[in-house]
Chains A and B, each alone.
Chain A
């Protein structure tokens, strides 16, 4: 049952990264691919009806994580206190930029929010990547399962780790590159003309960077976290997850060249899902390893709620997710196709 919920929470987080990932990626390239106000409104309109729903995956995923693994939520949220609050502030600024930018027609107001949107999106990508890096590397947990990390120490991966070190920064940069690529493909899918061409160019630039960083991060991960190679050698069938990621990466390259945006974007989704499931598979059954010794690590077993709680949860989670799937299919079909500014409701 714990393993099932581990998979379900991992699924929700992967959904969050795939969906809000393209919003964040669109934000990163927003100021570079869109050169005038009409183009920028197009970029925003491409995520306008969906970004809020995409961000709900973070809240619903976080809520589900809390309900299934309360100890993990309590320990990690308090331990990552400052970076999490900074993420909150970035999320606030980014949401304000998206929603309030187009309310006022002014040469000062709009560029200001454009920069906020781009900057907050970029920093969020780096922070989320670094957060994943921290979870993979592990933190200095004590016997009670608590920790509190400084933002950085000496940037080395040792016993006295900080939130930022060379490894977590590397993962952060990979996340930024991946989401830049993902967002570029989304913008290319939703727009046409010069804007689309520029988004294509960004995607073509971001691909080799992402591929190179993927190789580096994979090597680094296998070196610093012994749990990962251990799991892959114990359960060889788990190789399916990295194979999915590789297939996504290769697919992107192929379809980018052919300029079939839809397939390229789907390949990017596959890549992100493959990377996340690989990380989750590599850590299992750990959800937060300890740098202080494997016996202190938080696992799905020492953080999960009761069997009864998990069973009840399944009874409402499954129908709930079917409803969510229905909403998303409906919304994305309704707003399918290229963005046209004259069709955007009353905004």
Chain B
């Protein structure tokens, strides 16, 4: 790989991966906050309001982190990927500007009102501020996923005389068939993260025998939301997303599954390591016919393997793509299992006393983050070697003016800056969790 290109890619991958640690919590948490505020309105029980206020603090810390790590991404389209920005700006400029005008203003306005305006707004006004915050966050996600969906499956464009990719139909861009399932899959993924985090903190309070009444509320809401969201992740959103990939990016599907040879009764690999040199899957453990069934609803159907495509159309990081996909899928399955058991225990009224279940919930905290990250790796590495699928290769995208040394300097700078951010973020979140939801005398 060309050095400068590799650094540009790694810098974007690093900054976007780090950034997405925060929105994946806050987008889902916004929904859970609305639920808590609704419960407060319905029951008039201050307990729910205090619960919401506690999560609003965690939300605020993560929101700030999301904002400050998000700005570099919008800049990097121009700074590091100027050839791509120039060629495709006529199309993706629309969705990025729409996000700014419609989502960012909405979010920031109602976040300010939600955090600072409880006394000014009254009960219903404050609920409404929370609801609008949720709308803003999910709208923001929509425009970003719309941008990515266009890069995965470009529609509504034409190539102008000067070679630029320009918009031909605004509605085709927003009604991209790739978009609805990818959007739902992404957003429900963020609900999974928020639900696991809420259940985890709740389980921690119960196990530590502190703030136990809040612990029960958090575990109950976290497990209920986590149970529903984990199932929706697999079916229908994950399933439909997978079939989209099978139809429009079959070579990516073959790489994700480590399917080197075209065959009938194509298997799904549970374990195995792709060996790209020799074109085979080492130490495989497979379910025959499963991939054929998932793709075509027919166990015997032929699925094209990597050998059906020219080598320069293969994704360039097949092992990483394969591992990412399998980690996402494996964790998704574990989430369904854990949340189903927890949900049954909850319904039977035994969850709060079950220490093994609470320990499991508490320790699950990092895994939805890993699963969401692996999911994005799958989408982005599966798109390779294309920057815009079928239209522009990744090698054609970076800023040629920016030398590898400059890019390396800023990459290391970002790493240092984000290491500092991580320490701050952990420290502040830890402090809020330690302080707990009970109001203290001194503000």
Contact = CB atoms under 8 A, between A and B. Distances in A.
Interface string A306-347: 101100110011001101100110110011000000011111
Interface stretch (B63-71, B270-278, B309-317): B63-71
Interface residues of A, number: 66
Interface string A204-229: 00000000000000000000000000
B116 A335 contact: yes
Contact of A66 (B77, B83, B399): B77
Nearest to A73: B78
A146 interface: yes
A234 interface: no
B86 A74 contact: yes
B209 interface: no
Interface residues of B, number: 68
A335 B119 CA distance: 11
A159 interface: no
Contacts of B410: 81-82, 85
A63 B96 contact: yes
Contact of A56 (B82, B104, B443): B104
Contacts of B160: 306
A346 B116 CA distance: 7
B380 interface: no
Contacts of A67: 89, 93-94, 96-97
Contact of A63 (B97, B109, B443): B97
Interface string A66-88: 11101101111111111011001
A197 interface: no
Nearest to A69: B89
Contact of B401 (A147, A343, A347): A147
Contact of A60 (B85, B100, B119): B100
Contacts of A50: 112
A135 to B, nearest CB: 14
Contacts of A61: 100
Contacts, number: 219
Nearest to A52: B108
Nearest to B76: A77
B235 interface: no
Contact of A74 (B89, B113, B166, B443): B89
Given A60-B101, A96-B424, A77 B82 contact: yes
Interface in B382-405: 399-402
Contacts of A96: 64, 68, 421, 424
22 contacts: A48-B116, A52-B108, A53-B109, A60-B101, A73-B77, A74-B85, A77-B82, A80-B79, A81-B79, A85-B75, A85-B79, A85-B413, A92-B69, A92-B417, A96-B421, A146-B400, A305-B90, A313-B94, A321-B101, A323-B105, A334-B120, A347-B115
Given A70-B89, A74-B89, 15 more contacts: A52-B111, A66-B78, A67-B93, A78-B402, A146-B82, A305-B89, A305-B90, A306-B90, A308-B166, A309-B93, A313-B97, A317-B97, A327-B106, A331-B112, A343-B119
Interface of B: 53, 56-57, 60-61, 64, 67-69, 71-72, 74-75, 77-80, 82-83, 85-86, 88-90, 93-94, 96-102, 104-106, 108-109, 111-113, 115-121, 160, 164, 166-168, 170, 399-402, 406, 409-410, 413, 417, 421, 424, 428, 431, 443
Interface of A: 48-50, 52-53, 55-56, 59-64, 66-68, 70-71, 73-82, 84-85, 88-89, 91-92, 95-96, 99-100, 103-104, 146-148, 305-306, 308-309, 312-313, 316-317, 320-321, 323-324, 327-328, 330-331, 334-335, 343-347
